[in-house]
Structure 1
């Protein structure tokens, strides 16, 4: 089981700030990282992922993959591709991702899973829990799992 490396608590007051949080988190990610996003419908999971895509310099508009389950966004900047998964309809967990026939190597990609709570054991990246409040205010907790996140700079995200 992975250990917690670092944690950040961020109050986000608009969709633009949520997208900016994604842009700021993106440089901390490496190929093979798995980002699990949890939160209610409308909490900002896709908006955060859109910012991650911008920060990673990937091709294509990042939109919710609800009906296709997963989308692959190749890098335009020589970095890792972004694999964006909506796990809401994946009953058996992330093992089903291998059956999706994605045209990308997951260990060489950054994988973002919406509705990721309880979907993977020992992920190699951060978990972000998004809680919706009144008037578009969101409380985001980003927890890095594993030793490499201890000094990865997650607390700097709190100045978002």
Structure 2
């Protein structure tokens, strides 16, 4: 009763659409069929996430699911990647695999726990610095130019 609501289903997206004009972003998509269905139902974004692997032990990783989900939606909606992205090189890889952006959950929370708002800011700044370094070391200057071929440049 606290953590789950098994009654949720695809029809709830239409109900939600009737209640708001805000963009709907659906989290927890790991299969390309679900991604296509979400697009057909009019969501504006998808978060490719296995919820930190806490929901189903041994589930597919977000990184492994990202390619098929990105291919399935073919740019029709915004794709965010979540779960297991801790470094700038993780962000680089997710963007190259098809994510439009990457959610950073635990690192900024660890920073917050260590040093409050300044710690959270520093944790995110470190990831950005690592991303910048990874871009430079792989011969790139902008995340907008990343695609799957960029992964070959990581050596």
- Comparing both chains, which one has the higher relative contact order based on Cα–Cα distances under 8 Å and sequence gaps of 6 or more? 1
TM-score if structure 2 supplies the norm length? 0.30
* Larger fraction in strand: 1
